[in-house]
C-alpha cells in the first residue's frame, strides 16, 4: 500500500514521523513531498502510483484522479472538500475523508481577532503610533452588548457562540439545523434576513455548496445596518466581495474582517477589498496555528489507520 503526501502538511518532518507512526503496523510505503504545486502533470507524476493520497486544500480534479489507477482513498487535511472532484471519486469508488474539527478553536479565535481589529481600529492605531501619531480620530467600539449574528451553527459556529456570550453579546443565529446547545447558551434562531437586519456583527460559518455560493449578495448586504461589521472566515465565494467593497466604500457598512476570497491568496492588488474602507484582510490563516496543524495531521493519519482497519471515519464520499 503506497501512501503519498502530495503537498506539505505545515508541520515539521519530525512531527510527521510521530503522527504517521501508527501506520507502521500496516506495512505501508510512504512518500512525502515538501513542495506545493498546482501543475496538473506534476500532480499526476506525484500521485499516479498511490493507493492513498494525502493533501490539504490543493485542487485535486478529474484529470489528475483519472490518471491514478490504484487510488482507493484520499485523506484530506482540511474541513471543506470542495477542491476535490467528488463525482469522479464516487464513480471510481474512491473514499474521501476530511479532517473535521481540527481548526475549531483556531478559526473561532480569529473571528474575534478580526472583529476587535475592526471595532478598535487596530491596524490604523498601529500605523499612526509608528508615525508619531495620537489616538485622534481613532475612537473605537466595544463588543460588549452588541448583537452578534452567527450564520451557521456547526462546530465552529457553536464555538463562536460560546466566545461571543463570554464577551457579553446578544446572540442571534441562522442555521439549517437549530441546535439545543446553542439555545441553552442564549441563542435566538431567526431567519437570515432578520439576522442581517438586526445584528451589529455578522460572522459566517457555512460550507461552500450550491445553496451557499453568493448567499451574501448585493441584496443581502443591503440589509445590513451602516453600523454593522461582517466577518468571513468560512469560504470566499459565499460573499459577493465586489458588492461588499462597494457598500464599505459608500459607508453603508461599518467594516469587515475577511480571511477567505474567491481564490486562494495571493490575491491581486486590484481585488475590490484591497482598497475597501475599514477592512482587515488576512491571507486565509484562520486554521493556521501550530496546535491546529498538528491536530489536523493526527486526524489525517488516524483516518487512514481506521480505513485500513475497515472502520472508516470522517467519510465524505
Residues with catalytic function: 235, 264, 284
Backbone angles phi, psi at 106, to 5 degrees: -60, -50
Determine contact, residues 60/73, Cβ cutoff 8 Å.
no
In the block, which residue shows the cell 491536530? 295
In which order are the strands placed within the sheet that holds 52-55? 29-32, 2-5, 52-55, 73-76, 95-97
- Distances from the Cα of 78 to the Cαs of 31, 115, 124, 292, in angstroms? 19, 24, 33, 11
Cell digits of residue 289: 496555528
Partners of 216 in beta bridges: 239
Backbone angles phi, psi at 309, to 5 degrees: -85, 0
Determine contact, residues 155/104, Cβ cutoff 8 Å.
yes
Contacts of residue 22, defined as CB under 8 A and 6 or more positions apart, other chains included, come to 301, 302, 305
Determine contact, residues 142/121, Cβ cutoff 8 Å.
no
In the block, which residue shows the cell 499516479? 48
C-alpha to C-alpha distance for 224 and 49, rounded to whole angstroms: 51
How many Å from the N-terminal Cα to the C-terminal Cα in the chain? 20
CA angle, corner 125, sides to 145 and 216, nearest 5? 55
Amino acid at each position: 500500500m503506497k501512501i503519498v503526501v502530495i503537498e506539505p502538511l505545515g508541520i515539521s518532518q519530525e512531527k510527521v514521523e510521530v503522527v504517521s507512526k501508527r501506520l507502521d503496523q500496516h506495512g505501508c510505503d510512504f512518500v512525502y513531498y515538501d513542495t506545493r504545486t498546482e501543475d496538473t502533470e506534476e500532480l499526476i507524476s506525484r500521485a499516479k502510483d498511490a493507493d492513498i493520497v494525502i493533501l490539504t486544500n490543493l485542487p485535486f480534479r478529474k484529470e489528475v484522479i483519472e490518471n491514478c489507477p490504484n487510488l482507493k482513498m484520499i485523506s484530506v487535511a482540511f474541513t471543506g472538500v470542495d477542491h476535490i472532484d467528488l463525482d469522479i471519486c464516487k464513480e471510481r469508488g474512491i473514499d474521501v475523508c476530511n479532517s473535521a474539527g481540527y481548526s475549531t478553536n483556531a478559526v473561532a479565535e480569529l473571528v474575534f481577532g478580526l472583529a476587535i481589529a475592526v471595532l478598535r481600529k487596530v491596524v490604523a492605531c498601529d500605523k499612526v503610533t509608528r508615525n508619531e501619531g495620537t489616538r485622534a480620530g481613532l475612537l473605537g467600539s466595544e463588543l460588549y452588548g452588541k448583537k452578534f449574528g452567527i450564520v451557521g451553527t456547526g462546530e465552529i459556529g457553536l464555538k463562536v457562540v460560546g466566545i461571543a456570550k463570554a464577551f457579553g453579546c446578544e446572540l442571534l443565529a441562522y442555521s439549517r439545523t437549530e441546535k439545543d446547545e446553542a439555545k441553552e447558551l442564549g441563542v435566538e434562531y431567526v431567519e437570515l434576513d432578520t439576522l442581517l437586519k438586526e445584528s451589529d456583527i455578522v460572522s459566517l460559518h457555512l460550507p461552500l455548496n450550491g445553496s451557499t455560493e453568493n448567499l451574501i449578495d448585493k441584496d443581502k448586504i443591503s440589509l445590513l445596518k451602516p453600523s454593522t461589521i461582517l466577518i468571513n472566515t468560512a469560504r470566499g465565494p459565499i460573499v459577493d466581495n465586489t458588492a461588499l467593497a462597494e457598500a464599505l466604500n459608500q459607508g453603508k457598512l461599518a467594516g469587515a474582517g475577511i480571511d477567505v476570497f474567491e481564490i486562494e491568496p495571493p490575491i491581486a492588488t486590484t481585488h475590490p477589498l484591497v482598497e475597501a474602507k475599514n477592512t482587515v484582510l488576512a491571507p486565509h490563516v484562520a486554521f493556521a496555528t501550530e496546535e491546529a496543524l498538528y491536530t489536523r495531521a493526527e486526524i489525517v493519519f488516524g483516518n487512514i489507520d481506521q480505513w485500513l482497519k475497515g472502520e472508516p471515519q470522517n467519510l465524505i464520499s
